[in-house]
Amino acid sequence: MENLPVKSQNCSHTLHSPNGTIESPGYPYGYPNYANCTWVIVAQEHNRIQLVFQGFALEEDFDILSVYDGQPSPTNLRTR
């Protein structure tokens, strides 16, 4: 049996506006397997970014949420 590569869905976006909504693909229903989503929120220097979660669900052992202040690197990791 041939091993086929797993196809992931790329759902990366950049938010530049002062307010916005981030939703996973397929929301409010399930998202596809192997979804690889990255959202970058850009704010002017010295402005704060507030994240408010209306609903949030992760599949145990498969999904992860990481929040960085700046480029994704261990020194910029704020929560996981």
Q: What is the pLDDT of residues 3-54, one digit of tens each?
A: 555 555 678 889 998 888 888 888 888 888 888 888 899 998 888 889 998 8
Q: According to the model, what pLDDT value does residue 45 have?
A: 86
Place of tokens 């196809």: 7
Distances (CA, A) of 44 to 13, 16, 70: 18, 9, 12
Q: What is the pLDDT of residue 2?
A: 52
State yes or no: pLDDT of 1 exceeds 70: no
What pLDDT does 9 receive?
A: 65
